[in-house]
C-alpha cells in the first residue's frame, strides 16, 4: 500500500470511528456512527529499536473472544472473508467513494453493550474499532449482528482494553503523539518492514501502525481503534 493509499485507509478509519457514550467534541457525520469528528491525518513517527508499544505485535490481535472468551483473532493480513468466517455473517455497509466496507458485531450477552467494528479497504482488513457502548452506532440492530463472540473481555494480547484507566494507557503507550482535549489520544509510528512481511506487495518498505484511544467522563477507556496492514 502506497503512502497515498495509507492516507485513504486512514480516512476510512476516521469515517468509521465513534466515541461511545456522550460525545462532547463536534464531529463529522459518518452516516453510520453517531457524533464523530474526523481529527485528521498525523505523520507517523519513524522509530528505531527498541520499538514502542505502538509497534508491538502484541497490540495487533484480539483476544477474549468467543463464548468462553478464550479465542484469538490475528489482525494482520486478514480479509473480509476471514472476519466473516471467524465472527459469523454480518450486514455489510459500503462506502462507495473509497471502496471501504464495514462489518459490525454486538455482544449478545445480557447487559453487555460492547460493539466491535471491522473496516476492510479495499480487500484487506484495515481497521478494528472496539466500543464500550453500541448506542454509538446508528441503527445498530439493523447494521450489526449480535453474537456471544464479542464482549467486554475483548482486548489486545498486550493489554489494551475497555475500562483501563488513563494512567494505565499512558504507562503502556507513553506520551500521546496527538491529543484532542481529554477524550481522545492517538499514536502513529512506522518501522522498517521485516523480510517476507509484504508478501505480494513488493512496493512496501515500512510498516505503519496507528492506535487511537478514547476516554469517558470517568477517565477510563471506552473505545479504541487500531489501524492494521498499513505500509509505505
Q: What is the per-residue pLDDT across 42-69, written as a single tens digit (0 to 9) for each?
A: 899 999 999 999 999 999 999 999 999 9
- In degrees and rounded to multiples of 5, residue 60 shows phi and psi of -125, 40
- Residue 34 pLDDT level (bands cut at 50, 70, 90): low
Query: Which range is least confidently modeled, 44-53, 156-165, 199-208?
Result: 199-208
The DSSP secondary-structure symbol of 52 reads: P
> From CA 136, how far away is CA 141, in angstroms rounded?
12
Beta partners for residue 18, in sequence order: none
Structural domain count, the chain: 1
> From CA 201, how far away is CA 231, in angstroms rounded?
10
Q: What is the per-residue pLDDT across 108-139, written as a single tens digit (0 to 9) for each?
A: 999 999 999 999 988 889 999 999 999 888 88
Q: Which helix (H) or strand (E) holds 105?
A: strand 100-107
CB–CB of 188/43 below 8 Å? yes
pLDDT of residue 37: 58
CB–CB of 160/172 below 8 Å? yes
Q: How much of the chain, in percent, has pLDDT values that exceed 70?
A: 79
pLDDT of residue 51: 96
Domain that holds residue 186: 3-231
* Mean pLDDT score, 65-91: 96
Q: What is the 3-state secondary structure (H, E, C) of 144-155?
A: EEEECCCCCCCE
What are the angstrom distances between the C-alpha of 158 and each of 51, 52, 140, 181? 14, 12, 29, 25
**C-alpha grid cell for residue 146?**
449480535
Long-range CB contacts for residues 4-8, cutoff 8 Å, separation at least 24: 6/208, 6/230, 6/231, 6/232, 7/41, 8/98, 8/121
Amino acid at each position: 500500500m502506497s503512502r497515498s493509499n495509507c492516507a485513504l485507509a486512514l480516512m476510512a478509519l476516521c469515517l468509521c470511528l465513534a466515541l461511545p457514550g456522550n460525545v462532547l467534541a463536534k464531529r463529522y457525520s459518518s452516516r453510520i456512527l453517531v457524533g464523530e469528528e474526523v481529527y485528521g491525518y498525523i505523520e507517523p513517527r519513524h522509530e528505531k529499536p527498541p520499538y514502542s508499544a505502538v509497534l508491538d505485535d502484541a497490540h495487533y490481535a484480539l483476544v477474549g473472544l468467543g463464548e468462553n472468551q478464550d479465542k484469538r483473532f490475528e489482525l494482520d493480513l486478514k480479509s473480509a472473508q476471514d472476519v466473516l468466517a471467524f465472527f459469523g455473517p454480518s450486514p455489510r455497509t459500503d462506502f462507495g467513494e473509497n471502496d471501504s466496507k464495514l462489518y459490525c458485531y454486538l455482544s449478545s450477552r445480557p447487559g453487555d453493550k460492547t460493539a466491535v467494528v471491522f473496516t476492510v479497504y479495499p480487500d484487506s482488513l484495515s481497521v478494528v474499532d472496539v466500543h464500550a457502548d453500541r448506542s454509538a452506532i446508528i441503527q445498530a440492530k439493523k447494521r450489526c449482528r449480535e453474537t456471544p463472540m464479542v464482549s467486554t473481555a475483548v482486548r489486545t494480547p498486550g493489554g489494551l482494553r475497555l475500562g483501563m484507566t488513563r494512567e494505565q494507557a499512558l504507562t503502556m503507550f507513553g506520551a500521546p503523539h496527538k491529543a484532542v482535549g481529554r477524550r481522545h489520544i492517538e499514536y502513529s509510528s512506522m518501522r522498517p518492514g521485516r523480510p517476507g512481511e509484504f508478501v505480494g506487495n513488493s512496493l512496501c518498505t515500512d510498516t505503519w501502525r496507528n492506535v487511537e484511544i478514547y476516554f469517558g467522563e470517568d477517565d477510563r477507556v471506552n473505545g479504541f481503534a487500531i489501524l492494521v496492514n498499513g505500509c509505505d
